[in-house]
């Protein structure tokens, strides 16, 4: 039995993963953005180990999420599932960051720094990461004209890169990126063609399985198969440059990265 924390687990892939893990006998800690969102999954949360609440667009609330998780105890795995897709505008978080960057990248980075280190880390990315720009000059979209699709693609390039950076620097942790495919969730839309079940079963498998195939690190996964990611994801120079930019933007530096 494993203890797993899943961000963004009130609907879509996160909720499906939580329900699967609970049905398998694992202890799951759920996450909701608000108390209203939490109320919508009362039936599932009643069978979970715990439920934490906080908005990942806010660094202060992200800190609270980490504190709530740590108060429950050390996790065996953390699945960084939460994400947002095509935002109509850059938006601005309480700290002044672009909302897409804050939720999809800065929040997972901060949670990784603040939550007691688990045995396994899973970060959800997307095949769209291959369209992400490798320049780190304006990752917070303060000078460029807003482009929602490009911002999303870049965020998914960065999160896949963070996963491989952690795999390189933390040999005692299994850190992987998962592309769930274009699946029919609220984010993906009802007409999305990919397999919803395989989309969430890959992350639950990586979080808990003792199969030799699942106990690897630094992989980019799609439907339980390793795929080749964009070149930047495996580039140690790009990894370290990205981690440096995230440290600058958040004011939080991982001492072991």
* Structure confidence by residue, pLDDT tens digits, 137-169: 999 999 999 999 999 999 999 999 999 999 999
Domains, the chain, in order of start with CATH, read 3-250 (3.40.50.720)
* Residue closest to 175 by CA, chosen among 239, 132, 245, 230: 239
4, pLDDT greater than 90:
yes
pTM above 0.75, yes or no: yes
Q: Tell me, what DSSP letter sits at residue 117?
A: P
pLDDT digits (tens, 9 = 90+) for 59-88: 999 999 999 999 999 999 999 999 999 999
Q: Is the pLDDT of residue 198 over 80?
A: no
Structure tokens belonging to residue 185: 């969730």
CB-count exposure of residue 35 (10 Å: 0-12, 13-18, 19+): exposed
Based on the residue annotation, tell me whether 152 is a catalytic residue of this protein.
Answer: yes
Alpha-carbon gap, residue 71 to 63, rounded angstroms = 12
CB environment 106-142: b (16+ within 10 A), e (fewer) = bbbbbbbbbbeebbbbbbbbbbbbbebeeebeebbbe
Catalytic residue (choose from 152, 158, 220, 222): 152
Q: Where are the alpha helices (DSSP H) in 24-84?
A: 35-39, 42-45, 59-72
156 is catalytic: yes
Distance of CA 191 to the CA centre of its chain: 24
Among the listed residues 99, 109, 156, 222, the single catalytic one is: 156
Largest CA distance in the chain: 49
Q: Say whether 97 sits in a helix, a strand or coil.
A: coil
């Amino acid at each position: 039995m494993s203890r797993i924390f899943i961000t963004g687990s009130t609907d879509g892939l996160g909720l499906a993963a939580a329900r699967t893990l609970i049905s398998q006998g694992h202890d799951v800690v759920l996450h909701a953005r608000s108390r209203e969102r939490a109320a919508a999954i009362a039936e599932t949360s009643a069978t979970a180990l715990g439920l934490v609440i906080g908005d990942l667009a806010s660094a202060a609330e992200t800190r609270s999420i980490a504190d709530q998780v740590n108060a429950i105890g050390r996790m065996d795995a953390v699945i960084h599932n939460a994400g947002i897709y095509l935002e109509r505008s850059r938006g601005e978080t309480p700290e002044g960051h672009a909302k897409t960057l804050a939720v999809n990248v800065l929040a997972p980075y901060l949670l990784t720094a603040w939550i007691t280190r688990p045995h396994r880390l899973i970060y959800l990315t997307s095949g769209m990461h291959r369209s992400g720009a490798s320049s780190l000059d304006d990752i917070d979209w303060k000078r460029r004209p807003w482009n929602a699709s490009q911002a999303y693609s870049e965020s998914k390039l960065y999160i896949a890169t963070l996963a491989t950076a952690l795999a390189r620097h933390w040999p005692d942790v299994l850190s992987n990126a998962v592309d769930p495919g274009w699946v029919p969730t609220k984010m993906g839309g009802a007409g999305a063609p990919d397999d919803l079940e395989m989309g969430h079963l890959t992350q639950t498998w990586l979080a808990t399985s003792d199969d030799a195939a699942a106990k690897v690190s630094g992989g980019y996964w799609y439907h339980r198969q390793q795929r080749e990611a964009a070149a930047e994801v495996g580039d140690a120079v790009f990894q370290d440059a990205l981690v440096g930019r995230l440290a600058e933007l958040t004011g939080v530096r991982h001492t072991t990265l």
